[in-house]
Amino acid sequence: MAPSWWGRSGGGGGVGNGGGTPVVVKMENPNWSISEVEAAEVAPGSPAGAGKAGRGKNARQITWVLLLKAHRAAGRLTGAATALRARSYGCIRVFLVLSLLLLAVEVAAYLQGWHLEEVASLLAVDGLFAASYAGWMRLRLDYLAPPLQFLTNACVALFMVQSIDRLVLCLGCFWIRFKGIKPVPQAAAAGKPDVEAGAGDYPMVLVQMPMCNEREVYQQSIGAVCNLDWPKSNFLVQVLDDSDDATTSALIKEEVEKWQREGVRIIYRHRVIRDGYKAGNLKSAMNCSYVKDYEFVVIFDADFQPQADFLKRTVPHFKGKDDVGLVQARWSFVNKDENLLTRLQNVNLCFHFEVEQQVNGAFLNFFGFNGTAGVWRIKALEDSGGWMERTTVEDMDIAVRAHLKGWKFVFLNDVECQCELPESYEAYRKQQHRWHSGPMQLFRLCFVDIIKSKIGFWKKFNLIFLFFLLRKLILPFYSFTLFCVILPMTMFVPEAELPAWVVCYIPATMSILNILPAPKSFPFIVPYLLFENTMSVTKFNAMISGLFQLGSAYEWVVTKKSGRSSEGDLVGLVEKHSKQQRVGSAPNLDALTKEESNPKKDSKKKKHNRIYRKELALSFLLLTAAARSLLSAQGIHFYFLLFQGVSFLVVGLDLIGEQVE
């Protein structure tokens, strides 16, 4: 490792020595037949030791039999989940048809005035329809309402637990604001100026830029990274190109060569075989022989443009803190006001950074690495086993393993790195599927490691219950089950009640808390609440895929970029932060402006709306339930179902965000 500016050998005081890379064995067909063989009896006169060895061998055989049986049971459960997921659209359609039939029956009964009658009174009425309706009421009362009410109460309990967790996070954020808590570098805390000495006083930093077929954004991103305010001899840029489009690769390589001619230490690497996607790309780059000369590695995705003083505001937080393994900056978005979809995404991500990441970083020294705009101590990466391709959330994977090794994380809420938000629903849907299936894959793989780790009990509790189960599994489960399944069912089985405060007041309160970090988005609070419930279908589907390792859990689709980071965006952000930051020369914006002045042929491609069948089916189901709620005079339930049904309809017809080409 290169010597750092604080006069000590590079490398942190990581807790524990790095172990070997774990090997994951996937059994393709768990349904083997298992034969249990009884042990042979010990022959007379045999030594006692032989009998003990036989008993030990029998114990091992029984253990293996039990493990194989457990694996077979897990395989059957996975098969059932696969079948359920494959038939989910069919189940929704059947549910929709039944709801329409029941609505017709309920309307007819309402016109007869039977909705106010008891079952015994209806039995006295002559006619087949009256008898059938009385039977339906008895079926509801005796068999459908009790289990539905139990499921309702269970989901309400989960909803309240998650709401309390959200409230505690918000209180933690308010406390941080009130007390002015923020990470401070050691030099700044001692009243000394920041690092302004010669190149020998700066640590060696490796900058990695993984990208794949991202033609729209590579130029400004490479330009921003090459203009980082850091001694040129002390940082190296790796452009890690996984593009399979020859034209895009040629353009990226040409851009790298241009900056090489200007004296920037920048290297172009291209993989022909994209094994492991982003994790494989980063792992391959870290295997280069010259990496041993660097102490820190910074990662920027293809659409991220850091400010010139990014390294000077992040790297000093490692000084004098040998147990700090990661310093993470927050994201800002150049296209947050582009359309309704980007505005709603901005609300979610502002809460994620301002509240979740900041609170967990301040009080727990742990949070999920965001995959980009972060600085890693290379020793922490190596100590944690390096990058692994076993899930689609390699960033969360390395963060969890580093946390189990005892490394601490620092989150800087005041250091921003601009990037883009997906502008089409199709791109956002693919991104969210990966973000919600990957954590469940990771939870399956690291659960035993968490239990066996040497970290404290409360840290294990935070990882297992809060970080994984509550925020990654329970949240999408109850959001979909409670508002998209149970609520419409209670309209047709009114004996099972869902209180109005669950439908309206608590969700509205949580939405207000979520939107506080982005106060300019308050006019969109109602669309935000409805859209979050609409996205619960995608998130629930992704969670099931990751939990049971279904095929779609391993899908990796690069999020489509639009290249909104134009000259105006960059200059505007520089002017906004000019009082706080020292900005170097801007990237090659002339070339970018010239490129934008010539419309591409791709822009002439016809755009169209996609049709999302699950969302449409759920829309009609919720609207049918809204019509049924009118017969029960449930006002709040009616309005919620009506607006939620319209929200599903808008999304199902792809009327939110930009259309795809």
239, part of any domain: yes
**Can you state the angle between helices 525-547 and 635-652, rounded to 10 degrees?**
70
Q: Is 242 a catalytic residue?
A: yes
pLDDT of residue 556: 66
Strands (E), 249-304: 266-270, 296-299
Tokens of 88: 């989910």
Pairing state between β 296-299 and 374-377: antiparallel
d(CA 316, CA 90): 56
Where do the H-state alpha helices sit in 180-245?
186-189, 218-226
Handedness of CA 66, 68, 72, 77 (dihedral sign): positive
323, part of any domain: yes
pLDDT tens digits, 144-198: 999 999 999 999 999 999 999 999 999 999 999 999 999 999 765 444 445 455 5
Per annotation, catalytic residue among 309, 383, 395, 397: 395
Sequence-separated (6 or more) residues with CB below 8 Å from residue 169: 355, 356, 359
d(CA 376, CA 315): 9
First to last CA, the chain: 48
213, part of any domain: yes
d(CA 84, CA 92): 11
Edge-to-edge strand ranges of the sheet holding 205-211: 266-270, 235-241, 205-211, 296-299, 374-377, 324-333, 408-419, 305-306
Contact by Cβ (8 Å): 183, 317: yes
Contact by Cβ (8 Å): 195, 202: yes
215, part of any domain: yes
Tell me the one-letter amino acid at 356: E
SS3 state of residue 209? strand
Residues of the chain with pLDDT under 50: 1-5, 7-46, 48, 189-193, 195, 566-603
376, part of any domain: yes
pLDDT of residue 589: 44
pTM tops 0.85, yes or no? no
Domains in the chain, number: 1
555, part of any domain: no
258, part of any domain: yes
d(CA 397, CA 283): 13
510, part of any domain: no
CATH code for position 386:
3.90.550.10
Per annotation, catalytic residue among 242, 301, 309, 397: 242
CA distances from 242 to 61, 173, 215, 221 (A): 47, 39, 12, 16
Q: Which residues pair with 376 in a beta bridge?
A: 297, 326
* Full residue range of the structural domain in which residue 221 is found: 204-421
